[in-house]
């Protein structure tokens, strides 16, 4: 008997904070991408692997798409569109609250517009001639009649092949989305080993987990002005791993906020990150964090290429 397998890429695009990373983690079944309540959490495309029936779907979580101002923003948005153009299926994820009048502004930079960003994405899809799957997300937070009206308004814009209503948080509609993605993959052999959940290098994932804890703990512009780098990774014979990371901040004032009184803030961030890393890696972790003022990391070509971003975007 010949079993026909399918394999391909599905990009998840959408405005900042739509819930893209939450959705990818749920479809994959483990945490491959970090999540916070703030906009612009994801900075570069992160690939997670979903196995569904006889199909392997490489999900591409992308940075939120918005009107970019800084160099880092431009590179993030460009990488998101690249993820979409190379994919076999594109899911446009929309926070249903933007279209049902129930929107609340998430924490983050002021440029965030919500529905305007959805509309800009729709125009670009139109230009590209890409038919996307519309996934209206966060349906746990909206009333049914308003949701149906929003689905119709959006579908009538003519850029969607399908419409689904989902909640990445509680799992509603996720099976239908997974089936749909599996069916849209081209016939062909698997692209990754079946037991591999992500193709993000583990050192980078570790840096991302620490950045998530920093974003959760720090406010205003601070999380947007820092980057985390894993500097050393030592596996010990007893199974434990020693990880040293550098947090690059852009100002001396930021350094003291990250450290906190008597080093209390960084201690708590380190504990939270260490705990999660130990659970992801399934072994004891010794994590050492340091903070350094690197004023110009956002103008560092090297830093961009370490994240797979185009410095000249
Ligand atoms: N209530 C509810 N909250 C959700 C749902 N999906 C995601 N969230 C929340 O929305 C916030 C943003 O989630 P993320 O997954 O980080 O969103 P994102 O689109 O990846 O954001 P960026 O990477 O910044 O573009 C988090 O607080 C999530 O817990 C959902 O279905 N329902
Ligand atoms: Mg994200």
Is 279 a domain residue? yes
The secondary structure element, H or E, covering residue 163 is strand 160-165
The answer on pLDDT for 60 being more than 80 is yes
Residue 160 tokens, joined: 């969607």
Q: Is the domain of 132 the same as that of 166?
A: yes
pLDDT at 1: 67
Is 287 a domain residue? yes
Q: Is the domain of 210 the same as that of 270?
A: yes
Of 120, 155, 184, which one is at a domain's C-terminal end? 184
pTM over 0.75: yes
Average pLDDT over residues 181-190: 97
Average pLDDT over residues 34-57: 96
> How would residue 104 be classed by pLDDT, with cut points 50, 70 and 90?
confident
With pLDDT > 90 as the criterion, what percentage of the chain qualifies?
A: 89
Query: Is residue 79 lining ligand 1, measured as CB closer than 6 Å?
Result: no
> Is there a contact between 165 and 142 (Cβ–Cβ < 8 Å)?
no
Q: Token pair 């959940």 is at which residue?
A: 197
Distance 252 CA to ligand 1 centre (A): 31
Residue 158 tokens, joined: 């003519």
**278 vs 216: CA distance, rounded Å:** 19
Q: Is the domain of 108 the same as that of 11?
A: yes
Torsion angle of the four alpha carbons 291, 303, 30, 169, in this order, in degrees rounded to the nearest 10? 80
Q: Is the domain of 129 the same as that of 180?
A: yes
Total count of domains within the chain? 2
Of the residues 118, 168, 172, 211, which should be mutated to test ligand 1's pocket, given the most ligand atoms within 8 Å of the CB?
168
The answer on pLDDT for 112 being more than 80 is no
The secondary structure element, H or E, covering residue 275 is helix 264-281
Q: Is the domain of 254 the same as that of 175?
A: no
Within 8 A by CB and 6+ apart from 240, the residues are 283, 284, 285, 286
Residue 312 tokens, joined: 């000249």
pLDDT one-digit tens code per residue, 254-297: 999 999 999 999 999 999 999 999 999 999 999 999 999 998 99
Nearest to 40 by CA among 98, 80, 3: 80
Is 237 a domain residue? yes
Query: Is residue 35 lining ligand 1, measured as CB closer than 6 Å?
Result: yes
pLDDT at 103: 75
Query: Is residue 56 lining ligand 1, measured as CB closer than 6 Å?
Result: no
Buried b (16+ CB within 10 A) or exposed e, 178-196: bebbbebbeeeebeeeeee
Query: Is residue 102 lining ligand 1, measured as CB closer than 6 Å?
Result: no
Tell me which residue has its CA closest to atom 11 in ligand 1.
37
Distance 37 CA to ligand 2 centre (A): 10
Phi, psi of 207, deg, nearest 5? -65, -35
Q: Is the domain of 176 the same as that of 211?
A: no
pLDDT at 86: 86
Q: How far is CA 21 from CA 36, 119, 208, 223, in A?
A: 9, 21, 12, 18
The answer on pLDDT for 109 being more than 90 is no
pLDDT at 252: 95
Is 215 a domain residue? yes
Tell me which residue has its CA closest to atom 30 in ligand 1.
138
Residue 22 CB neighbours (<10 A): 20
- Average pLDDT along the chain: 95
Q: Token pair 């092949």 is at which residue?
A: 161
Q: Is the domain of 108 the same as that of 170?
A: yes
Q: Is the domain of 213 the same as that of 282?
A: yes
Distance 32 CA to ligand 1 centre (A): 14
> Is there a contact between 240 and 234 (Cβ–Cβ < 8 Å)?
no
**103 vs 86: CA distance, rounded Å:** 31
Kindly report the CATH number assigned to the domain that includes residue 82: 3.40.50.300
Instruction: Tell me the β-bridge partners of 49.
Output: 58
Question: 214 in the Ramachandran plot: left (φ > 0), alpha (ψ -120 to 50) or beta?
Answer: alpha
Query: Is residue 21 lining ligand 1, measured as CB closer than 6 Å?
Result: yes
For residue 251, give its domain range: 202-306
Q: Which atom of ligand 1 is nearest to the CA of 15?
A: 25
Q: Is the domain of 60 the same as that of 10?
A: yes
Kindly report the CATH number assigned to the domain that includes residue 283: 3.30.300.20
Distance 239 CA to ligand 2 centre (A): 31
Q: Is the domain of 242 the same as that of 144?
A: no
Query: Is residue 227 lining ligand 1, measured as CB closer than 6 Å?
Result: no
Q: Is the domain of 164 the same as that of 223?
A: no
Average pLDDT over residues 104-120: 83
Query: Is residue 216 lining ligand 1, measured as CB closer than 6 Å?
Result: no
Is 155 a domain residue? yes
Sign of the alpha-carbon dihedral angle for 299, 301, 302, 304:
positive
Distance 305 CA to ligand 2 centre (A): 19
Of 139, 157, 184, which one is at a domain's C-terminal end? 184
**68 vs 43: CA distance, rounded Å:** 13
**227 vs 250: CA distance, rounded Å:** 9
The answer on pLDDT for 175 being more than 90 is yes
> How would residue 106 be classed by pLDDT, with cut points 50, 70 and 90?
confident
Of the residues 15, 16, 17, which should be mutated to test ligand 1's pocket, given the most ligand atoms within 8 Å of the CB?
17
Is 194 a domain residue? no
Is 190 a domain residue? no
Q: Is the domain of 10 the same as that of 90?
A: yes
pLDDT at 97: 96
Of 184, 217, 245, which one is at a domain's C-terminal end? 184
Is 217 a domain residue? yes
């Amino acid at each position: 008997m010949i079993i026909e397998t399918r394999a391909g890429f599905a990009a998840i695009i959408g405005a900042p904070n739509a819930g893209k990373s939450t959705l990818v983690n749920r479809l994959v079944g483990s945490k491959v991408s970090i999540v916070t309540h703030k906009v612009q959490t994801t900075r570069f495309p992160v690939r997670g692997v979903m196995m569904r029936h006889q199909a392997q779907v490489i999900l591409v979580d992308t940075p939120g798409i918005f009107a970019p101002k800084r160099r880092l923003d431009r590179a993030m948005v460009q990488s998101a569109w690249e993820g979409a153009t190379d994919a076999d299926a594109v899911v446009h994820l929309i926070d249903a609250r933007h279209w049902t009048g129930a929107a609340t502004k998430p924490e983050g930079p002021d440029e965030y517009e919500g529905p305007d960003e959805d509309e800009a994405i729709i125009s670009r899809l139109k230009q590209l001639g890409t038919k996307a799957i519309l996934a209206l997300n966060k349906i746990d937070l909206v009333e049914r009649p308003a949701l149906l009206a929003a689905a119709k308004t959006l579908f009538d814009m003519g850029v969607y092949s399908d419409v689904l209503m989902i909640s990445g948080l509680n799992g509603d509609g996720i099976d239908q989305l997974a089936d749909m993605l599996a069916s849209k993959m081209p016939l062909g052999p698997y692209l990754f080993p079946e037991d591999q959940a992500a193709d993000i290098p583990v050192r980078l994932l570790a840096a991302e987990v620490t950045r998530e804890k920093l974003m959760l703990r720090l406010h205003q512009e601070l999380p947007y002005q820092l980057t985390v780098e894993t500097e050393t990774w030592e596996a010990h014979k007893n199974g434990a791993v020693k990880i040293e990371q550098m947090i690059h901040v852009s100002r001396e004032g930021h350094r003291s906020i990250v450290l906190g009184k008597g080093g209390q803030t960084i201690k708590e961030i380190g504990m939270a990150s260490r705990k999660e890393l130990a659970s992801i890696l399934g072994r004891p972790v010794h994590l050492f964090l340091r903070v350094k003022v690197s004023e110009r990391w956002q103008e560092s070509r090297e830093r961009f290429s370490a994240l797979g971003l185009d410095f000249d975007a």
